[in-house]
């Protein structure tokens, strides 16, 4: 038994010594380099296969992270785009308002009377009642019957005045009528409202009268309510009614009745001491 154990120990020591000798030879000499190269070539596919789980894990984590980042980036860009589009819309509105004010100021150069800029702050809730509320009142010199204009033409007249605001009746209201004349030949008539923001009609036009589509109408000054010469509308249709002595004349208002925001209150030359008016 002792001889057998001694034999095993000797063989183990021999193997250990051989192992140390091979490691020393491999570390300090180039004897085993060709063998190492062969083993590296053989073992490389094994290393690649062994690394597959780790690579799949890293790829999955990258994919999840990239997807989350992309989703966050898309959300951020969408929010920024919405904000920028909102700002652009506001800029467009400011540009349009600036243009309207320029047109309004340019229009004042054509007036012989004094004017006061005002702003629409309310409209009638009843569709058949065409009235506006403006931000000028008796404190600003506004009075009942005062003409109201926009940059294009006559809008209406003041019917109620309060300290800081007034109510205006538009020329398109069915109860409103204004004396007009054809700019081309001076033909006089009465333009009535129709409860349609885009239509007026003329009364008592003879079937033989010289009036046609395209004629421009201005205030005639009769009745001394509206100053003469202000644009009122343009004739768009003249219809002969069978068996009638008068023709049906449709007129499109010159003023932007349902769209204008900044308006002008007109003070005649007899009105003096009007605060804030433009000469």
CATH of the domain at 171: 2.40.10.340
Tell me if the pTM is above 0.85: no
Query: Is 6 within the bounds of a domain?
Result: no
pLDDT at res. 99 = 67
142 and 225 belong to one structural domain: yes
25 and 153 belong to one structural domain: no
pLDDT, tens only, 28-78: 777 666 776 666 667 667 766 767 777 677 666 656 556 777 788 887 787
> Which residues have CB under 8 Å from 52's CB, separation 6+?
none
Intra-chain end-to-end CA distance of the chain, in Å? 135
> Which residues have CB under 8 Å from 201's CB, separation 6+?
191, 192, 194, 248, 249, 250, 251
215 and 129 belong to one structural domain: yes
**The domain containing residue 194 runs over which residues?**
114-267
Report residue 37 as tokens. Answer: 């190269």
Per-residue pLDDT of the chain (279 residues; tens, 9 = 90+): 545 556 677 777 777 787 777 777 667 777 666 776 666 667 667 766 767 777 677 666 656 556 777 788 887 787 677 656 655 644 655 666 676 676 666 655 545 557 788 899 999 888 889 999 999 999 999 999 999 988 888 999 999 999 999 999 999 999 999 999 998 898 999 999 999 999 999 988 988 899 999 999 999 888 888 888 889 999 999 998 777 788 999 999 999 999 888 888 888 755 544 455 555
pLDDT at res. 70 = 79
Report how many domains make up the chain. 2
pLDDT at res. 2 = 47
């Amino acid at each position: 038994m002792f001889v057998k154990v001694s034999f095993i120990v000797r063989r183990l020591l021999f193997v250990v010594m051989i192992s140390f000798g091979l490691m020393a030879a491999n570390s300090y000499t180039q004897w085993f380099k060709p063998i190492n190269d062969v083993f590296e070539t053989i073992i490389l596919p094994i290393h690649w296969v062994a690394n597959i789980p780790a690579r799949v894990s890293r790829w999955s984590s990258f994919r999840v992270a990239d997807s989350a980042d992309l989703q966050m980036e898309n959300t951020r860009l969408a929010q920024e785009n919405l904000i920028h589009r909102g700002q652009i819309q506001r800029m467009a509105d400011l540009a349009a308002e600036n243009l309207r004010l320029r047109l309004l100021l340019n229009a004042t150069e054509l007036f012989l009377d004094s004017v006061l800029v005002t702003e629409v702050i309310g409209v009638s809730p009843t569709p058949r009642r065409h009235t506006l509320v403006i931000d000028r009142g008796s404190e600003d010199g506004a009075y009942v019957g005062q003409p109201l204009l926009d940059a294009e033409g006559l809008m209406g007249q003041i019917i109620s005045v309060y300290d800081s605001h007034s109510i205006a009746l538009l020329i398109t209201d069915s109860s409103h009528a204004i004396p007009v004349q054809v700019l081309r030949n001076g033909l006089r008539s009465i333009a009535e409202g129709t409860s349609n923001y885009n239509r007026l009609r003329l009364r008592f036009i003879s079937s033989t009268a010289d009036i046609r589509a395209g004629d421009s109408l201005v205030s005639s000054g009769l009745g001394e309510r509206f100053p003469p010469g202000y644009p009122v509308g343009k004739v768009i249709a003249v219809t002969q009614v069978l068996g009638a002595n008068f023709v049906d004349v449709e007129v499109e208002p010159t003023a932007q009745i349902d769209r204008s925001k900044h308006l002008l209150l007109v003070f005649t030359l007899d009105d003096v001491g009007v605060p804030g008016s433009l000469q």
